[in-house]
Amino acid sequence: MWRELSPIGRDRDSGGYRRYAWTGADADCRAWFRAQAESRGLTHEVDRNGNQWAWLGDPAGRDAVVTGSHLDSVPDGGAFDGPLGVVSAFAALDELRARGAEFSRPLAISNFVDEEGARFGLACVGSRLTAGRLTAEQAGRLTDADGVTLPQAMERAGHDPEAVGADPERLGRIAAFVELHVEQGRALAEGPHPVGVASAIWPHGRWRFDFRGEANHAGTTRLADRRDPMLTYAHTVLAAREHAAGTGALATFGKVAVDPNGVNAIASLVRGWLDSRAADEETLAELVGAVERSAAEHGAADGVGVEVTRESFTPVVEFAGGLRDRLAALLARLDAERGGPGSAGAGSRGPASYGAGGPGAVPILPTGAGHDAGVLSAAVPTAMLYVRNPTGVSHSPAEFATEDDCTAGVVALADVLEDLACR
Ligand SMILES: [Zn+2]
């Protein structure tokens, strides 16, 4: 499966993936998903919002167990973010069939469309629409860099844009959703466990800072006469870093736009976007407030006006405690029975094991990254498994997980699905 997916949407120069929603590369990924479903005798279905489902058992049945992730990418993304969860889902089903597992409820594998938001600027569009967190009207206004709207893009890709909207009936039939994902950090890299369980997704948001000064000649304007918004912006970037370091949170200015953007012109406007995330909403609010105050203070000193607009905000997501604890306890128990990684001793049912510790030793981690699982968690009991990423690098061609760790992820996912769907 990995070999089949690997050339799709890969940029020759960067080696990264450009699998944007409703493009040709996306269509190729979706065709691959459908072929995987059909080759396993699963019922393939595209829902009203363009998410793909592969059903074992009755697609209309109740108490379904669903696992999956996404196949789209950020610009020059890595191979693992998204596809690892989808490939592992199919591989976990293969593993369960090899074990002779008997399913007592429907099982589905899902591919949520447009998770990364690389094309239309909003993440998790497929799951947000389904969960009613994005209306059809709002989705209809999303536009890509070429001026193509989301409905136009859907239509060109053969999906009816008139169909989009909340799908509570579908979500109501799901008893549990489990998303496996490559870890986007190094918490697991520090320890012996290739697989961890998610505790929460940090609250996060985007704020636009507009710094307004005065455009003027870089060669003739005395320093004392300048109102240079670039200076205020630079001070604010440094302040964000300092405040974040002081609170254990994250603050990043990763995008900036400058007017008039000339080498020999003092800027009139610098617009910078702050992405900030923290373990809790209070810390996040304090951090962003501190950055805003620093910007205002430096702006006053520089003769620059500062205006801050919150463009998006996602509250903290605490994954369902019961499901999370059940997964962690199960993985820890099986881990102990199998004797830890590398052990092929008695009691080992799968091709690999995970974790070296005894019961309770499976790492439970928070993350700063958003996921479809986070969006769905308000409507469906939801859990996530993370697979160790030795460098922690993500959203980059350098994103990586070893084959052994990926296999351990598949076994862990199979164990979890067996527990949820086979008894
Ligand atoms: Zn992802």
What CATH number is given to the structural domain containing 226? 3.30.70.360
Residue 64 has pLDDT above 80, yes or no: yes
Same-domain check for residues 181 and 71: yes
Is the CB of residue 250 less than 8 Å from the CB of residue 287? no
Burial of 225 (0-12, 13-18, 19+ CB in 10 A): exposed
Domain end position, chosen among 314, 340, 356: 314
Higher-pLDDT residue of 352 and 149 is 149
Q: Among 166-170, 346-350, 414-418, name the one with the lowest average pLDDT.
A: 346-350
Is the CB of residue 240 less than 8 Å from the CB of residue 272? no
For residue 84, the CA-to-ligand 1 centroid distance in Å is 9
Q: Is 81 annotated as a binding residue?
A: yes
For residue 81, the CA-to-ligand 1 centroid distance in Å is 4
- Residue 96 sits in a domain whose CATH number is 3.40.630.10
Q: Among 101-110, 119-128, 309-318, 414-423, name the one with the lowest average pLDDT.
A: 309-318
Same-domain check for residues 137 and 18: yes
Band (pLDDT 50/70/90 cuts) for residue 215 is very high
Residue 340 has pLDDT above 80, yes or no: no
Same-domain check for residues 51 and 136: yes
Domain that holds residue 87: 2-202+316-421
Same-domain check for residues 224 and 120: no
Band (pLDDT 50/70/90 cuts) for residue 423 is confident
Band (pLDDT 50/70/90 cuts) for residue 191 is confident
Same-domain check for residues 185 and 149: yes
Q: What is the pLDDT of residue 360?
A: 47
Structure tokens given for 115: 């998770």
Band (pLDDT 50/70/90 cuts) for residue 339 is confident
Is the CB of residue 94 less than 8 Å from the CB of residue 56? no
Is the CB of residue 99 less than 8 Å from the CB of residue 414? yes
In this prediction the pTM is 0.85
Band (pLDDT 50/70/90 cuts) for residue 337 is confident
Q: What is the pLDDT of residue 344?
A: 32
- Residue 202 Cα distances to 109, 278, 330, angstroms: 26, 6, 25
For residue 272, the CA-to-ligand 1 centroid distance in Å is 25
Band (pLDDT 50/70/90 cuts) for residue 305 is very high
Q: What is the pLDDT of residue 82?
A: 97
For residue 372, the CA-to-ligand 1 centroid distance in Å is 8
Same-domain check for residues 193 and 208: no
Share of the chain above pLDDT 90, in %: 84
For residue 136, the CA-to-ligand 1 centroid distance in Å is 23
Domain end position, chosen among 286, 314, 342: 314
Band (pLDDT 50/70/90 cuts) for residue 100 is very high
Q: How far is CA 260 from the centre of its chain?
A: 34
For residue 180, the CA-to-ligand 1 centroid distance in Å is 9
pLDDT digits (tens, 9 = 90+) for 268-299: 999 999 999 999 999 999 999 999 999 999 99
For residue 344, the CA-to-ligand 1 centroid distance in Å is 32
Band (pLDDT 50/70/90 cuts) for residue 33 is very high
- Average pLDDT of the chain is 92
Q: How many domains does the chain have?
A: 2
User: Could you check whether the bond before residue 260 is cis, i.e. omega within 30 degrees of 0?
Assistant: yes
Same-domain check for residues 249 and 237: yes
For residue 389, the CA-to-ligand 1 centroid distance in Å is 13
Domain end position, chosen among 314, 336, 356: 314
Name the β-bridge partners of 208.
273, 309
Higher-pLDDT residue of 312 and 383 is 383
For residue 219, the CA-to-ligand 1 centroid distance in Å is 47
For residue 18, the CA-to-ligand 1 centroid distance in Å is 14
For residue 213, the CA-to-ligand 1 centroid distance in Å is 39
* All residues at 6 or more sequence positions from 132 whose CB lies less than 8 Å from its CB, including other chains: 166, 168
For residue 152, the CA-to-ligand 1 centroid distance in Å is 25
Q: What is the pLDDT of residue 348?
A: 34
Residue 361 has pLDDT above 80, yes or no: no
Residue 288 backbone dihedrals phi, psi, to 5 degrees: -65, -40
Same-domain check for residues 389 and 281: no
Residue 338 has pLDDT above 60, yes or no: yes
Same-domain check for residues 107 and 124: yes
pLDDT digits (tens, 9 = 90+) for 362-382: 899 988 888 999 999 999 999
Q: What is the pLDDT of residue 367?
A: 87
For residue 294, the CA-to-ligand 1 centroid distance in Å is 33
Strands 250-259 and 204-212: unpaired
Residue 352 has pLDDT above 50, yes or no: no
Q: 144: helix, coil or strand?
A: coil
Instruction: Report H helices in 273-422.
Output: 281-302, 321-338, 372-376, 403-421
Same-domain check for residues 42 and 97: yes
Residue 346 has pLDDT above 60, yes or no: no
Same-domain check for residues 196 and 228: no
Q: Is 206 annotated as a binding residue?
A: yes
Q: Is 116 annotated as a binding residue?
A: yes
| Cα 8 to Cα 17: distance, rounded to the nearest angstrom | 8
Q: Is 338 annotated as a binding residue?
A: no
For residue 371, the CA-to-ligand 1 centroid distance in Å is 6
For residue 205, the CA-to-ligand 1 centroid distance in Å is 17
Same-domain check for residues 55 and 178: yes
